[in-house]
Each structure stands twice: as structure tokens, then as C-alpha cells.
Copies of this chain bind each other. A is one copy, B any other.
């Protein structure tokens, strides 16, 4: 049996934090792992910024709920789910992903979770597992799946390299140039064609 593991942000939905920054007008929320390579430090900064601005989880999920899926993502995902198993592997949080999962027709997602207090303020976050995307791919291989994995970012590379096959989707030039052996798609049609080659083997 085969399974396709997909990153969420940049592959099916827009980048969540960048859009939260744009919609709330809080520019500091645009920080990414490129600015602050330590993910834990970055997340703690983001949480502190939200609390400084008195933004609750509901405020953030309202913003996320207003985001549209990437154009064509719904059809791409539905068509893929008709012919194989798909699991979304993401570093986001279940509370943030929830409104987007509804729009995507409730695919299965493995991600992380937030610690929220009784006043709906985000206090902390919990990683399901360190390097969770790669570990999920390993676990799926261990139980007999052939795994295809794809994403657009540096944090997708370990899962892509651990999978039986993989690809980049709309990755930045630098990643494409660093990872020359990986197939690379910019449209869902190209992406589907790469996945079909894996599924037909």
C-alpha cells in the first residue's frame, strides 16, 4: 500500500504566520526560521507578541478562517484522496489548522498543539515529536507503506529524504538549487504527474 505525505503551508494553504501578520498588521509576526533559526525561540517570541497585543486564540483562528486555500488545492487533494491515502504532515498547530481542514474536507493531519489558558490566551506549544514529519514517514514505512513525501521548505527535507520517493512543490530557488535531484513542481498538474508516476509503480 502507498501513502502520500504532504506539507500543508505553501502546498495546500497559504503561509499561516505571514497572513496573520498581514491581517493583524503586526509586522513582527512575519519572523520565520530564516530570521530566527531556533524554532523554540521563534515560537516563544511569536506567543509573546500575540499576548502583548492581547490577541486570543479565537482572534487568530478568525484570521485563519478568512484565508482561502491555494487556488486548485481543494480539487487536487480531493482527486488524490480518491486513488490513494493522503496524510498531511505539518509543523503547525491543530488549533490553527482546524478551520483550514474544514475547507479541505477533513483530510488526516499530523501536527502539533497549543497550550491555551482559561482566558483563550496561547501560553505555550507542545511538539508531538521532535522532527515529527520525518518520524511520521519512518513510522509509516515501518508498518508496510511505500511513502511519497512533498513540501516546499527546509523543514520538509528530512521527511522527503526519508520517504521512498519525494518532490518539492513551489520551493524557493535556493532549495531547488541545493536539492537538484528532487523532482520539482510549480503547478498541481505537474505535481500530480510526479505523484502518479510513484503510484503507478
Contact = CB atoms under 8 A, between A and B. Distances in A.
A164 to B, nearest CB: 14
A129 B106 contact: no
Contact of A108 (B107, B127, B128, B144): B107
Nearest to A86: B108
A66 to B, nearest CB: 19
B108 A1 contact: no
Interface string A122-148: 000001110010011001101111000
A174 to B, nearest CB: 29
A82 interface: yes
A128 B106 contact: no
Interface of A: 1, 78, 81-82, 85-87, 94, 102, 105-113, 127-129, 132, 135-136, 139-140, 142-145
